[in-house]
Chains A and B, each alone.
Chain A
């Protein structure tokens, strides 16, 4: 790592950074998928009994907690509290778990806002036409919700990738950790962290571009997605 030019050094960093970036993408992808499932489940639970039962309150408390406290704190709690009871969980599992629990809270609110963006009149009209509740969901709500929440989900995916840098704190060998390891060996923090930053920028930029392209193919409803973005932006915590 004592090569002369930046290009030489970059060649030396690259394997470590690529390995780290791969781990970042794996952790983030797992958290996004698990977070989506959790978010949908949380929304389902909270809609139980028209959103007035104890279940809805429990979900609201969960969402408020996970959106109101830093991911770093959630991660540290999940990492250290079990060990206080003699249970040692592997860092990678803790990382994916904490990120999924966190993203699930955000995604449940995105899905809730998407569901609210479908006008009530359409659902009533569909029911009058004789569609069963399942059919109303499948053919009336789902396609519109999917289009409406897409930009918000893409933005959440970008946040998850960025947030994944936090799991470097519990020694998961992702991109930020890779950067710290290189710096510990060569004491060139500026160029290494700038390179790490550029790598993150490439990943988040790619997700943004891919999301926009897919969104266009889905035939985005601009007004509905703007309504969703607004709602989740104002209702956080």
Chain B
């Protein structure tokens, strides 16, 4: 039922496509972590206007499907003169979408630090900045690792939607094979297995990382 020769032929094609998926997720992860942390910093300033930006950003980006954000960025923004190629559009959308979730992860992890520690450090004469860098960051960032890993897997799954705006990652590649060669089982089997393997791989790497950074 499964054509092994065809499977062998498709393997390199899917390998290239998987690398594109990985590149897209890596870009989205890097951008998302940076933006999420920046947003978290805004909130930590305790300035009302900045906290409001944080709130609006996380609420809006988490309350609307990734696909719609992608449509706004890729099809909508050219109307105001901002055109991006499919990879950049998908990477930007993934970053801003992921950033909203990463910001919430940082917020949750910062909340796990007992207030008493921060008060004690302030009493001992540490500045607000020192408290942030030496007391809060080391603990909260460690705690955030498993949550970030999980969110990375979610981003990897969202990245499949980049196929809709014609970025030739795994899902679009499978669709192309199906429409050109009229075979269904082999490409979809490879497609599902590729994503499954990537998920398990991210999970495994994440656990190693979590163990390394654990106190």
* Chain A contacts to B: CB under 8 angstroms: 64-65, 67-74, 76-77, 80-81, 83-84, 158, 162-166, 168-169, 176, 179-180, 183, 188-191, 193-194, 196-197, 200-201, 204-205, 208, 233-234, 236-237
Is the contact region of chain A dominated by helix, strand, or loop, or is it mixed?
helix
Question: Are A69 and B65 within 8 A (Cβ)?
Answer: no
Min distance, Cβ B45 to any Cβ of chain A, angstroms: 26
Apart from A70-B171, A74-B192, list 4 A-B contacts with CB within 8 A: A64-B196, A68-B200, A70-B158, A208-B63
**Across-interface contacts of A194 in B (CB, < 8 A):** 72, 76
Flag whether B33 is at the interface (Cβ < 8 A).
no
Question: Are B153 and A76 within 8 A (Cβ)?
Answer: no
* Chain B contacts to A: CB under 8 angstroms: 59-60, 63-69, 71-72, 75-80, 146-147, 150, 153-154, 157-161, 163-164, 171, 174-175, 178, 184-185, 188, 191-192, 195-196, 199-200, 202-203
CA distance A166 to B158 in the complex (A): 10
Question: Are A190 and B77 within 8 A (Cβ)?
Answer: yes
CA distance A83 to B188 in the complex (A): 13
A84-B185 in contact given A70-B171, A166-B67, A204-B64 (Cβ < 8 Å): yes
**Across-interface contacts of A190 in B (CB, < 8 A):** 72, 75-77, 79-80
**Across-interface contacts of A74 in B (CB, < 8 A):** 192
Is the contact region of chain B dominated by helix, strand, or loop, or is it mixed?
helix
**Across-interface contacts of B171 in A (CB, < 8 A):** 70, 72-73, 76
Min distance, Cβ A222 to any Cβ of chain B, angstroms: 13
CA distance A76 to B173 in the complex (A): 13
A189-B196 in contact given A162-B64, A200-B65 (Cβ < 8 Å): no
A69-B157 in contact given A162-B64, A197-B64 (Cβ < 8 Å): yes
**Across-interface contacts of A77 in B (CB, < 8 A):** 188, 191-192
CA distance A14 to B80 in the complex (A): 24
Question: Are B195 and A69 within 8 A (Cβ)?
Answer: yes
